[in-house]
A = this chain, B = another copy of it.
Amino acid sequence: MRTALNFAVLLLALGLCESLQRGYVGEEPEPVAEPSKYGSLWPLPQKVQISDVSYKLSSSNFRIVDGKLSYADPSCSLLQDAYRRYFDYIFGLTRKHGPKSGRTGPSELTELQVWITSPDTECDGYPSLASDESCESLSFFNIQLLDLIYYIVFILFPLFLGLETFSQLVYEDEYGVKNVNSSEINDFPRFAHRGILLDSSRHFLPVQVILDNLETMAMNKFNVFHWHIVDDPSFPFMSKTFPQLSQKGAYHPYTHVYTPADVKKVIEFARVRGIRVIPEFDTPGHTQSWGKGDFPCENLLTPCYSGSKPSGTFGPVNPILNSTYDFMKQFFKEISTVFPDAYIHLGGDEVNFSCWKSNPDIQKFMTDHGFGQDFSKLESFYIQNLLDIVTTTNKGYMIWQEVFDNGVKLTPDTLIHVWKGNQQQYQKEMANVTSSGYQTLLSTPWYLNRISYGQDWQEFYKADPQEFNGTETQKKLVIGGEACLWGEYVDATNLSPRLWPRASAVAERLWSAMDVTDLGDAWNRLSPHRCRMVERGVPAEPLFVSYCPREYNGV
């Protein structure tokens, strides 16, 4: 029986001689990483007690089983798949298993009992903002040692979270034996919406890249995949209603598209990991690739003018034609059936007014509607119509902050996505949005595509979505945040190491208690967490000078 956690092997130890010289890069020295009293738990659970009493795990004997009083449905393959996945994580997918020993010692843990406490096991259901909110009161789970048996109690979707936590408690001793210490953990997420945005328009992301990322999201307890699926450069989403959109708008109509089967695969892969998929179809700006599709440019996009003549280029969606709204009705009707989540992200950001201004038909429309020269009124007119259309599909919507800033009338359950400005500006925006009674989520400080030299994870870690001037009621309207990896400089070649473990810093901010802010302890836990991801096959880049017992070998 071992009496101390041992993660030190993962970390750089330079105790013997002088501290590390790093004059090449001109930075302040980094403290040598020390084992955290929380081991390698990431994100840190709300309440953790890890005792000194440890128990061995044997791959021959250890089993993850349904608890006696669990509501688990034996026919729910989702559960069995999760058990197998975490068994593999714990014992190593590639490690050889020894012969079955047939007997267990007194200090061996042989079962992890999973108790589903809700009769509605949701085996075929989808995670939702609501189910995640309920998680805050219901997903309480408890890991205790009882007669050499750990048990965990939780409802279905957080099950994955609990298995992840359990797998993070397991560590290897110096003989390679897997150990877990008797622990008590009560956990729930601080925010219900913990997302990652990937951009499959600026560069096409093969489906496998997206699946790999979902797998890693689950390891970090992210629960929303914000799929920025189309944008100016390309339209890889294959629509059944308007197949020309991707036939003309994708980089290539066969090799660079997401077929309906691909989309289903992504959604199902996410679902069984407790992750929601929220697609973004951004209009009226960011739509150049739409103009190549079913409609010629002049029908869906606004023809820009140079003086009195069309210049041959096109601007945002044309908001003055009935055909535009007919198109949107049919298009979003399809989208609402393809994506099961209750929310769709409608974009609405960065509408460039110069093309609208140049167009005489638009000018006339402005005059007729009494908009004067205020083009944000025209934008609002468009968005208002679009929101009405989407509302008829029974979906809620998320929109970028400009839609709110421009005073568009929104339904009360609209989620306002804050992404602009510096710290002072986004904090003011969060205050404005919530004082208007809207729910909001933050991305501004988490644009992970913006790289810089050094340990930028610390800046991501420090940002807090509830840090702004506002009442308790306002703070409660903050439902979470998203780390964004825009695609200008990212594709399959570099997505994973660019995202991980930098996004892990955001994961802990969105999951753990507000006062979990100790950078030193974070470093001590994040270092082994990144090595764990590497060992599970994720090319998560190093935080700093260090090594992992098992380096990445997927190159």
A223-246: which residues lie under 8 A (CB-CB) from chain B?
232-234
**Closest partner residue, chain B, to A484 (CB atom):** B24
- Let me know if A20 is at the binding interface, CB within 8 A: yes
Contacts of A355 in B (CB 8 A): 18
Q: Is the CB of B20 within 8 A of A232?
A: yes
Given contacts A206-B551, A534-B493, contact A304 B21 (CB under 8 A): no
**Complex Cα distance A509/B17, Å?**
41
Given contacts A16-B297, A542-B493, contact A208 B553 (CB under 8 A): yes
Residue interface mask A524-555, B partner, CB < 8 A = 1: 00000000001000011111111101111111
Q: Is the CB of B555 within 8 A of A492?
A: yes
CB-contact partner of A314 in B18, B291, B350, under 8 A: B18
CB-contact partner of A555 in B209, B232, B314, B550, under 8 A: B209
Residue interface mask A448-460, B partner, CB < 8 A = 1: 0111111000000
CB-contact partner of A493 in B208, B488, B541, under 8 A: B541
- Let me know if A212 is at the binding interface, CB within 8 A: yes
Q: Is the CB of B493 within 8 A of A497?
A: yes
A4-29: which residues lie under 8 A (CB-CB) from chain B?
12, 14, 16-25
CB-contact partner of A285 in B21, B234, B545, B552, under 8 A: B21
Contacts of A314 in B (CB 8 A): 16-18
Contacts of A541 in B (CB 8 A): 489-491, 493-494
Q: Is the CB of B288 within 8 A of A20?
A: yes
Given contacts A233-B12, A489-B542, contact A18 B350 (CB under 8 A): no
Of the listed stretches A92-100, A122-130, A248-256, name the one at the interface; the rest are far from the partner chain.
Answer: A248-256
Central interface residue in A22, A498, A539, A551, by most chain B CB within 10 Å: A551
Residue interface mask A295-310, B partner, CB < 8 A = 1: 0010001001000000
A498 to chain B, nearest CB (A): 8
**Complex Cα distance A297/B17, Å?**
7
**Complex Cα distance A208/B552, Å?**
11
A405 to chain B, nearest CB (A): 14
Contacts of A329 in B (CB 8 A): none
Contacts of A255 in B (CB 8 A): 549-551
Given contacts A233-B545, A350-B23, A555-B209, contact A14 B203 (CB under 8 A): no
**Complex Cα distance A251/B545, Å?**
11
- Let me know if A56 is at the binding interface, CB within 8 A: no
- Let me know if A315 is at the binding interface, CB within 8 A: yes
Contacts of A451 in B (CB 8 A): 451-453
* Chain A residues bordering chain B, tally (CB within 8 A): 78
Contacts of A288 in B (CB 8 A): 14, 16-18, 20-21
A177 to chain B, nearest CB (A): 18
**Complex Cα distance A151/B204, Å?**
40
Q: Is the CB of B232 within 8 A of A21?
A: yes
Contacts of A543 in B (CB 8 A): 489
- Let me know if A49 is at the binding interface, CB within 8 A: no
Contacts of A352 in B (CB 8 A): 21, 23
Given contacts A545-B203, A545-B487, A547-B204, contact A493 B552 (CB under 8 A): yes
Contacts of A286 in B (CB 8 A): 21
Given contacts A16-B292, A355-B18, contact A544 B497 (CB under 8 A): no
Contacts of A291 in B (CB 8 A): 16-17
Given contacts A233-B12, A255-B549, contact A304 B493 (CB under 8 A): no
- Let me know if A202 is at the binding interface, CB within 8 A: yes
- Let me know if A186 is at the binding interface, CB within 8 A: no
**Complex Cα distance A16/B313, Å?**
7
- Let me know if A486 is at the binding interface, CB within 8 A: yes
Contacts of A534 in B (CB 8 A): 493
A495-545: which residues lie under 8 A (CB-CB) from chain B?
495-498, 534, 539-545
Central interface residue in A19, A251, A315, A495, by most chain B CB within 10 Å: A251
A174-221: which residues lie under 8 A (CB-CB) from chain B?
202-204, 206, 208-209, 212
**Closest partner residue, chain B, to A349 (CB atom):** B23
Given contacts A12-B233, A232-B20, A313-B17, contact A552 B492 (CB under 8 A): yes
**Closest partner residue, chain B, to A24 (CB atom):** B486
A289 to chain B, nearest CB (A): 8
Residue interface mask A59-89, B partner, CB < 8 A = 1: 0000000000000000000000000000000
Q: Is the CB of A20 within 8 A of B552?
A: no
**7 closest Cβ pairs, A-B complex:** A494-B497, A493-B539, A17-B314, A251-B547, A23-B350, A494-B541, A492-B552
- What are 5 inter-chain pairs, A to B, with CB distance below 8 A? A16-B292, A17-B297, A21-B350, A206-B551, A492-B552
Q: Kindly list 13 other residue pairs between chains A and B, CB separation below 8 angstroms, not including A18-B355, A539-B555, A554-B554.
A: A16-B297, A17-B288, A17-B291, A18-B313, A21-B286, A203-B545, A233-B545, A452-B452, A492-B552, A492-B553, A493-B542, A494-B541, A497-B497
